Amino acid sequence: MADFMQAANQAYYAKADPLGVDGDFITAPEISQMFGELIGLWLTDLWIRAGRPNNCHYVELGPGRGTLAADALRAMQQFGFAPPVCFVETSELLKAKQSRAVPGARFVAGVDELPFDVPLLVIANEFFDVLPVRQLVSTHAGWRERVVVRDRGAKFMATPGMHAMDEMVPTEFRNAPSPTIYETCPAASTIMYELAGRVASQGGAMLIADYGYTMPGIGSTLQAVKGHQYADPFENPGEQDLTAHVNFVELANLARMRHLRVSGPVEQGGWLTALGIGARAEALIAGQPERAAEIAAARERLVDSAGMGSLFKMLGVTNMDWPEPEGFEIDQHLG
Ligand code: SAH
């Protein structure tokens, strides 16, 4: 399953820019500049209260078109904060777009290539959800890995593999009735553990924004999106976006293992509201009254439960010697 998802997504992101109204899906930074700006202010506030260390790097994982970074860096610059920028990206096509959005950005292919001697301020919006998942399924013969095969018509499909996998399933789920699916994302865990270790030893913070779950659970969350519609994940590999919900419990636990401070996860809507998206929307409207309806609608889509406000979560992770981050002191603390 993980090999299938990895190969399909690599082909997908190499081939075309999937973002935006004309693409397959739209993300928060593409909805409004307010999203990236507030993230930039969140980082600036942390940096100021940390005593303005002069060697911080801005790091973004899977920056898409570079829109979030461009908006964040513009907001940061207004406060005299202009860190070097490092993007973790694998798609050549999107790297070209990111270079245009943020001239001077440096690219690395993996988090292990990030500089070792400076505090890292790491942003990941809708990055962890594209990483390949592994799935185990309970059968009458015990737990098996879900593997992807082709049926006689050459269509891809998932089927239980041959080897016993019971040992890999946490004991609390092991007696689940057949067929129950237990999902993990080893790539997400590896990246989180590495980055959390870097933030612990080098200083800095991480902000993860994604849709995901905040309690341990079972079931498949694998989904495909094509042209703003859900599709069969096993059809047309490389032609549609394959994602899985992010396991925020796991990401937070890995940060705790590295002795970092964990803030959240909280819902995106509450976080953006706490950081002042209302005031930012009003200021933008005052400057461009003719765009009032569009700006108000974008704010609503980012904040309201009917839009992205509840489905998407924010997780903040900070080095213990750094100040506590803003935006997480809200009621609906999850998990
Ligand atoms: N953060 C952007 C784009 C999200 S789409 C936004 O919010 O608009 C996912 C991004 O992750 C794309 O830029 C894609 O090319 C990148 N990506 C996917 N797999 C990756 C991997 N294994 N390593 C680095 N980047 C990856």
By CB neighbour count within 10 A (0-12 exposed, 13-18 middle, 19+ buried), where does 275 fall? buried
Q: Tell me the pLDDT tens digit for each residue of 54-112.
A: 999 999 999 999 999 999 999 999 999 999 999 999 999 999 999 999 999 999 999 99
Structural tokens at position 123: 């942003």
Q: Tell me the pLDDT tens digit for each residue of 115-154.
A: 999 999 999 999 999 999 999 999 999 999 999 999 888 8
Structural tokens at position 31: 């909805």
pLDDT of residue 331: 61
Instruction: Indicate which residue's Cα is closest to atom 24 of ligand 1.
Output: 89
Q: What b/e string do you get for 207-222 counting C-beta neighbours within 10 Å, with b at 16 or more?
A: bbbbbbbbeeeeebbb
The mean per-residue pLDDT over the stretch 236-243 comes to: 95
Residue 131 CA to ligand 1 center (angstroms) comes to 9
Residue 253 CA to ligand 1 center (angstroms) comes to 23
- Please report the atom of ligand 1 found closest to the CA of residue 13: 15
The mean per-residue pLDDT over the stretch 13-32 comes to: 92
Residue 332 pLDDT grade (very low, low, confident, very high; cuts 50, 70, 90): low
Residue 236 CA to ligand 1 center (angstroms) comes to 20
Q: Tell me the pLDDT tens digit for each residue of 167-198.
A: 999 999 999 999 999 999 999 999 999 999 99
Instruction: Indicate which residue's Cα is closest to atom 3 of ligand 1.
Output: 64
Q: Which of 170-174, 318-322, 326-330 is predicted with the least confidence, judged by mean pLDDT?
A: 326-330
According to the 3-state scheme, what is the secondary structure of the chain? CHHHHHHHHHHHHHHCCCECCCCCECCHHHHCHHHHHHHHHHHHHHHHHCCCCCCCEEEEECCCCCHHHHHHHHHHHCCCCCCCEEEECCCHHHHHHHHHHCCCCEEECCHHHCCCCCCEEEEEECCHHHCCCEEEEEECCEEEEEEEEECCCCCEEEEECCCCCHHHCCHHHCCCCCCCEEEECHHHHHHHHHHHHHHHHHCEEEEEEEEEECCCCCCCCCEEEECCEEECCCCCCCCCEEECCEEHHHHHHHHHHCCCEEEEEEEHHHHHHHCCHHHHHHHHHHHCHHHHHHHHHHHHHHHCCCCCCCCEEEEEEECCCCCCCCCCCCCCCCC
pLDDT of residue 241: 96
- Please report the atom of ligand 1 found closest to the CA of residue 91: 15
Q: Tell me the pLDDT tens digit for each residue of 247-290.
A: 999 999 999 999 999 999 999 999 999 999 999 999 999 999 99
Residues in the ligand 1 pocket, defined by CB under 6 Å: 9, 13, 19, 27, 29-30, 62-64, 68, 88-91, 94, 125-127, 130
pLDDT of residue 153: 81
Instruction: Indicate which residue's Cα is closest to atom 17 of ligand 1.
Output: 62
pLDDT of residue 333: 55
- Enter the pTM of the model: 0.96
pLDDT of residue 151: 85
The pairing of beta strand 134-139 with beta strand 181-184: antiparallel
The mean per-residue pLDDT over the stretch 232-253 comes to: 96
Within 10 A of 45 (CB to CB), how many other CB atoms are there? 17
Backbone angles phi and psi of 226, in degrees to 5? -140, 125
pLDDT of residue 20: 82
pLDDT of residue 335: 52
Whole-number average pLDDT of the chain = 96
Q: Which of 138-147, 150-159, 218-227 is predicted with the least confidence, judged by mean pLDDT?
A: 150-159
